[in-house]
Amino acid sequence: MSRVAESTIGRSREVELLLAALDGGAHVVLEGPPGTGKSTLLRTVARSRDVPFHFVEGNAELTPARLVGHFDPARVLSDGYVQEIFVDGPLAAALRDGGLLYVEELNRVPEETLNVLITVMSEAELHVPRLGRIDAAAGFRLVAAMNPFDAVGTARISAAVYDRTCRIAMGYQTAGDEVQIVSARAPEVPPVWRAGVVELTRRTRSHPDVRVGSSVRGAIDLVRVGTSLAVARGCPVDDWQVGLDAAFVSLSGRIRLSESAGRTPEDIVRQLYEDVFGPRPADSDDPARDGDSPGEAVARRQGRAAVR
pLDDT at 36: 85
For the chain, how many helices (H) and strands (E)?
Answer: 14, 11
40, 121, 182, 240 from 179: Cα distances, Å = 17, 38, 5, 20
Mention every residue, 6+ apart, whose C-beta is less than 8 A from residue 291: none
**In contact, 119 and 161? CB cutoff 8 Å:** no
Task: Provide the whole-model pTM.
Answer: 0.79
pLDDT of residue 223: 98
pLDDT means per 10 residues, the chain with 308 residues, are 64 91 94 86 84 90 92 80 86 94 91 92 92 92 85 71 93 94 96 98 96 94 98 97 98 93 95 97 58 46 41
Q: What is the pLDDT of residue 270?
A: 98
Q: What string of DSSP letters covers 143-191? A: EEEE-TT--TT--PPPHHHHHTSEEEE-----HHHHHHHHHHHS----H
Phi, psi (deg, nearest 5) at residue 103? -110, 110
The tens digit of pLDDT for each residue in 86-126 reads 989 999 999 999 999 999 999 899 999 999 999 999 999 99
Query: Where do the domains of the chain lie, and which CATH numbers do they carry?
Result: 2-169 (3.40.50.300), 175-307 (1.10.8.80)
Q: In this structure, are residues 209 and 261 in contact, taking their beta carbons and an 8 Å threshold? A: yes
How is residue 8 annotated by DSSP? S
CA dihedral 298, 303, 305, 308 (to 10 degrees): -160
